[in-house]
Amino acid sequence: MNIPLFKIYNDQEDIDNLSKEISSGGYWAVGPKVGEFEDKLADYIGSEYAVTLNSGTSALHALLLAYGIGKGDEVIVPSYTFISTANSPLFVGAKPVFADIEEETYGLDPDSVAEKITDKTKAIIPVHYAGCPARVREIKEIAEDKDILVIEDAAESFGASIDGKNTGTFGDSGILSFCQNKIITTGEGGAVVTDSKEVYEKLMLIRSHGRLESGDYFSSANLFDYVDLGFNWRMSNLTAALGLSQLNKADEIIRLRRKHSEYLSKKIAEVTDEIKIFNPPKAYNHVYQLYSMWANNRDELLDYLSEKGISAKIYFDPVHKSAFYRDKLGYVDKLPVTEKVAKTTITLPMFPELTEEEINYMVDTIDAFYNGD
Ligand SMILES: Cc1ncc(COP(=O)(O)O)c(C=O)c1O
């Protein structure tokens, strides 16, 4: 049996939506689907505004620019994340400061965050790792007291919630990613969600050349003025069409991921106690963008699973230990929980179309690894 790490959930609606835009003969770059996708996205997440961009990384970069974060500022980030979370302060000339995570959610530990705050701290970026909400309410409380921004990195946690409130809406703003292994995907893509009109207006300029857009630039006879420095970080109309059809399936995608993950967790617990399953607090609705777990003899297990046709992976190696941060930037942080968790965590295949047979095969393989054939 061969089980990939992820498989994109797609259907005829994705093909139809995209084909319709292709055959329109225009609107391959900007077009009406972008605004439509943004309106529906904001509705789904529960924010006033959604601004799409060409990636989650651009969303982080654009947001830090929109908040005017720059040289001399510090931004607190986890090291247990995808590298672009930590890189985003560097993009704008600010300094990423690593705080440790806690073991229940694998998200930033509020106590560690509090210790890392200085008078230069301008923002905190909690990451909702693997689709599990981080302790963002506690972090927001700490930040509010000190007038520090909270920017949620919800790249992995589309549709995850705490007490029914979606990740991305607890902080001052949040970012989403629609890269191919995420909960919903447009191939590449991202978005910012925010309640701030000011941030929304700045992002509209930043993502499209600083241009004041009062219509469709490509087909309008009007002259548009350029009022700031901006980039081309737009999501295309083709991509947004795919976003709309993916969004229609989001609830079903999340339902299936949760169902498979809960079944997998139950089955693993029946065969071994060498594995510790992710067990967030009850009110935390985990969407399992990744099925990550803590495992004894993790590296040997990874090799064994791969021999048996199961694509497991390590998410993540701590950012502060990467050659770039360690050798080029000189980071020498000690983050005990991050380092411990990073040595023992393994990510198994998880996607909506995973079959019961495939899940049972994963469990049997884990059983054979720990208990012998
Ligand atoms: C936590 C986290 N932040 C940011 C990103 C960046 O998103 P993108 O790949 O869309 O640039 C990712 C995606 O891999 C991620 O997992």
- Ligand 1 centre from 196 Cα, in Å? 23
> Given a cut of 90, is residue 253 above it in pLDDT?
yes
**Do residues 184 and 253 touch, judged by C-beta distance below 8 A?**
yes
Q: Which residues lie below 8 Å from residue 341, measured CB to CB, with a gap of 6+?
A: 80, 101, 103, 106, 294
The mean of the pLDDT values for the chain is: 97
Question: Which atom, in ligand 1's list, is nearest to the CA of 60?
Answer: 4
**Do residues 151 and 127 touch, judged by C-beta distance below 8 A?**
no
Q: Is 174 in the pocket of ligand 1 (CB under 6 A)?
A: no
* pLDDT for the residue 200: 98
What would the mean pLDDT of 156-177 be, rounded to a whole number?
A: 98
Q: Whose CA is nearest to atom 8 of ligand 1?
A: 56
* pLDDT for the residue 164: 97
Q: State the DSSP H helix or E strand holding residue 89, giving kind and residue range, or none if neither.
A: helix 83-91
Domains parsed from the chain with CATH numbers = 12-249 (3.40.640.10), 251-371 (3.90.1150.10)
Q: Is 80 in the pocket of ligand 1 (CB under 6 A)?
A: no
Query: Using CA of residue 82, residue 284, residue 166, residue 159, what is the dihedral sign?
Result: positive
Q: Is 90 in the pocket of ligand 1 (CB under 6 A)?
A: no
- Ligand 1 centre from 17 Cα, in Å? 25
- Ligand 1 centre from 373 Cα, in Å? 39
Q: Is 191 in the pocket of ligand 1 (CB under 6 A)?
A: no
- Ligand 1 centre from 253 Cα, in Å? 19
User: pLDDT tens, 314-362?
Assistant: 999 999 999 999 999 999 999 999 999 999 999 999 999 999 999 999 9
Partners of residue 226 on adjacent β-strands = 211
Q: Whose CA is nearest to atom 14 of ligand 1?
A: 82
- Ligand 1 centre from 169 Cα, in Å? 18
- Ligand 1 centre from 220 Cα, in Å? 34
E strands in the chain? 49-53, 74-78, 95-99, 121-124, 149-153, 161-162, 165-166, 173-177, 190-194, 275-277, 284-285, 291-295, 345-348
Pocket test for ligand 1, best of 108, 157, 177, 315 (most atoms within 8 A of CB): 177
The number of C-alpha atoms within 13 Å of 330 and in the hemisphere containing its C-beta is 1
> Given a cut of 80, is residue 373 above it in pLDDT?
no
* pLDDT for the residue 279: 84
Inter-helix orientation angle 250-271/356-371, to 10°:
30
How confident is residue 216, by pLDDT bands cut at 50, 70 and 90?
Answer: confident
